[in-house]
Amino acid sequence: MATQLRQSQRRRQVLSRERIVAAAIELLDAAGEGALTVRALSERLATGSGAIYHHVGNMNELLQVAIDSVIADALAALPADGSGATRTPEEEIRAVALGLFDAVTKHPWLAAQLAVQLTRSPWGPVTVRVFESIGRPVRSLGVPQPDWFAATSALVHYILGATTQNAQTPHDGETPRNEVDRAEFLAAASKAWQDLDPDDYPFVTAIAEQMRNHDDRRQFLTGIGLVLRGITTSYSSAEARGTGRTI
């Protein structure tokens, strides 16, 4: 009896909330949101459902904690420029954007969840983390306070929208799972564009080869640059006119 009690106590000590969250993320990475069940988690952790519920309220709560954990880690490990110099606001925004982009690339299930967080849980920790990480450098760009939300929202919506589009979801027969599949997918799409009637689709046929050879990460950063130039140009022009606001 005493031995069983000690073994039970050791199991409770070893099984922590952090271990449960880590195991949940592993399941999500392997097969998506549908794989996160009490049974699968119990088998992975070699424990019972009661021990899991002792640390987390339910599977939905665990999913939310897993999302927040991944985002917190991504934003805490932003790539440095290597020089030790302080980043400019533009560099900080690009670093945050790439951190989120890479997090979704590593955890494809995260893409849909970020969209849900943004639209259904603006008060939640994930949305707040993302807005704070983007909003601080936006403020440093000289954007007037009445426009902080609009400018930050424009960046956040582009970043999350682009990362969602580029996410490669496992077990989706129409989505490329690796670089070879991606190359074949883009080649097929490019040929379909090239085969269109150039009189009806002059622009699409003209960019078909560019689409085949594009790099997702570079394209993503190009979009960030365009949004940032729009923000800085708009507000610097407004300041020169003495209005401090965009038109």
Q: Where are the domains of the chain?
A: 7-57, 81-241
What is the pLDDT at residue 239? 57
Residue pair 110/70 in contact (Cβ under 8 Å)? The answer is yes
Just give the CATH number of 81-241: 1.10.357.10
Q: Which CATH number fits domain 7-57: 1.10.10.60, 1.10.390.10, 3.40.50.11540, 1.10.260.40?
A: 1.10.10.60
pLDDT at 243: 55
Higher-pLDDT residue of 6 and 65 is 65
Q: Binning pLDDT at 50, 70 and 90, where does residue 236 land?
A: confident
Contact indicator for 107, 207 with CB cutoff of 8 Å: no
Tokens of 50: 């009661």
> How would residue 241 be classed by pLDDT, with cut points 50, 70 and 90?
low
Instruction: State how far the Cα of 139 lies from the Cα of 186, in Å rounded to an integer.
Output: 38
Residue 138 corresponds to which tokens in the numbers above? 């936006």
**Cα distances (angstroms) measured from residue 200 to each of 14, 63, 197, 212:** 65, 47, 5, 20
Cβ(88)–Cβ(138) under 8 Å? Answer: no
Alpha carbon distances (Å) from 103 to 50, 90, 219, 231, 240: 31, 20, 17, 26, 39
Q: Is the pLDDT of residue 237 over 80?
A: no
pTM, two decimals, is 0.79
Element (H, E) at 54: helix 49-55
**Can 7-57 and 81-241 be said to share one CATH topology?**
no
